[in-house]
Amino acid sequence: MNDDVKLPTVQEPKNEMSAILDLAKDPAMDVDKLKALVGMQQDILNRQAKQAFAEDFVRMKPHLKKVENKHLNSQTKSKYSKLEDINREVDPILEQFGFSSMTPVRRQDENTVTVAAILLHKNGHQEETELTLPLDKAGIAGTVNKTGPHAIASSIKYCRRIALCAILNLSTGDGDDRDGNQDSDAITVEQASALDIRLRAISDKALPNFLTWAKVEKLTDILAKKYSAAERAVSDMEKAAKKKVTV
């Protein structure tokens, strides 16, 4: 931790807080009014905490450099960063500016798992985001290659890594990638992995069909500007597959 960096202390708005305390001392103050004053005081504290969170995040963000992808994904033929790689890079910086992170599992059923990424601040305010992905049951050809617990664990790892990057607005990429995107402004490995899991959960033909539709050889060749269209296409395939099953 860098001792030269001093975190700002949040100053209570004395006029508002003093007025509330003075009113609370009034013998004529009834219980309902006192509860209202306590609520006002809590609103003030919440507003202070949220402001401190925003100020420290703005100061911290330039220090969150891109995490280099060092591990090869044999299915997408591209490199990615493991969760431990990301934590190793960002945890000291989070601590330096008064933050910490959590990635709890929120929900899990026979088909999906949902993980939250929570960014906590020393003054009490926190922000969070959630990510839901299908269970990572099958390989790239659609053949089941994992036991139930293994599939759950694999999807949780995907979710934790992607959600953490999302809430920190953190980029990952190859060593020669200067702007946080892949070559030719392609989608990130995390985005490609999320699409890969969803497509393999549809059928064994979903991924090849999607690649043909997208006119690419692999998911990481999809341009970032076409990611929204790619997501819509996968959603349409999921809806069609679900409708086919229920008919």
Q: 3-state SS string over the chain?
A: CCCCCCCCCCCCCHHHHHHHHHHHCCCCCCHHHHHHHHHHHHHHHHHHHHHHHHHHHHHHHHHCCCEECCEEECCCCEEECCHHHHHHHHHHHHHHCCEEEECCEEEECCCEEEEEEEEEECCCCEEEEEEEEECCCECCCCCECCCHHHHHHHHHHHHHHHHHHHHHCCCEECCCCCCCCEHHHECCHHHHHHHHHHHHHHCCCHHHHHHHHHCCCCHHHCEHHHHHHHHHHHHHHHHHHHHHHHC
Residue range 97-116, pLDDT digits in tens: 999 999 999 988 888 889 99
Residue 194 has pLDDT above 60, yes or no: yes
Alpha-carbon gap, residue 162 to 189, rounded angstroms: 10
- pLDDT-derived band at 144 (thresholds 50, 70, 90) equals low
Give 170-174 contacts, CB < 8 A, sequence gap 24+. 170/64, 170/66, 170/67, 170/86, 170/90, 171/66, 171/67, 172/66, 172/67, 172/68, 172/69, 172/80, 172/81, 172/86, 173/66, 173/67, 173/68, 173/69, 174/68, 174/69, 174/79
CA atoms in the 13 A half-sphere facing the CB of 221: 10
Residue 115 is predicted with a pLDDT of 92
pLDDT at 74 over 80: no
* pLDDT of 174 higher than 60: no
The pLDDT assigned to 15 comes to: 61
> Which has more confidence, 146 or 206?
206
Share of the chain above pLDDT 70, in %: 74
Instruction: Supply the mean pLDDT for the chain.
Output: 78
Average pLDDT over every residue of 127-144: 72
Place of tokens 């001792």: 3
| pLDDT-derived band at 170, boundaries 50, 70, 90 | confident
Q: What is the pTM of this model?
A: 0.59
* C-alpha to C-alpha distance for 17 and 43, rounded to whole angstroms: 11
Q: Give percent of the chain with pLDDT exceeding 90.
A: 20
User: 218 vs 29, which has greater pLDDT?
Assistant: 218
> CA–CA separation, 87 vs 84, rounded Å?
5
What is the arithmetic mean of pLDDT over 34-41? 75
120 versus 17: the higher-pLDDT residue is 120
pLDDT of 34 strictly over 50: yes
Of the two residues 157 and 76, the one the predictor is more confident about is 157
pLDDT at position 245 = 59
> Residue 90's pLDDT band (boundaries 50, 70, 90)?
very high
